[in-house]
Chains A and B, each alone.
Chain A
Amino acid sequence: KAGVTQTPRYLIKTRGQQVTLSCSPISGHRSVSWYQQTPGQGLQFLFEYFSETQRNKGNFPGRFSGRQFSNSRSEMNVSTLELGDSALYLCASSSGLAGGGEQFFGPGTRLTVL
């Protein structure tokens, strides 16, 4: 099976712009989660989608949004970029069972905001 793919892998934007990141989960997985990783805050949960429904959302401002499509692919959007949004954004897919379990991570998108 192909792994989780994320595009683009690297992105440079300026303050005030917006950005859209894409994630394709492992075939058959219906849950997609997004995480932000920074040196200062570590790995923080952004949101999780299952069958196009957001089931949980982390403590991030409304500038961060996401969605999931019927084929389970997911996108996240960050509007009005700030310098502090520079981070590695990781996407993970899983079966989405209520009992939790292993998540499979993509290689990440490294966003730099200038």
Chain B
Amino acid sequence: DGGITQSPKYLFRKEGQNVTLSCEQNLNHDAMYWYRQDPGQGLRLIYYSQIVNDFQKGDIAEGYSVSREKKESFPLTVTSAQKNPTAFYLCASSIGVVQETQYFGPGTRLLVL
């Protein structure tokens, strides 16, 4: 099956701990994105990558880091510097950045203990 997958579905983090959210796609898309969704708010862009080994900060990159070593993978690390990490995290991919529909994964819900 072609698609975009995220794991885990639920993730718990202790204060001061870094956690990494996985995002994999087998759609052969060049561009990948990470968004954060909070209740009653629109999706906010954390990071995006147009091509392997390249990525740019979005609107709320502070406290997050990413890597793009492979075309199909774009993991997101939520660091201890992110003071309010509890949210629903969505990964997406598209053929390119320009005028292309984004395909979203099922999301990961991160909860801070």
Indicate, yes or no, whether A interacts with B: no
> Which A residues lie at the B interface, using CB under 8 A?
none
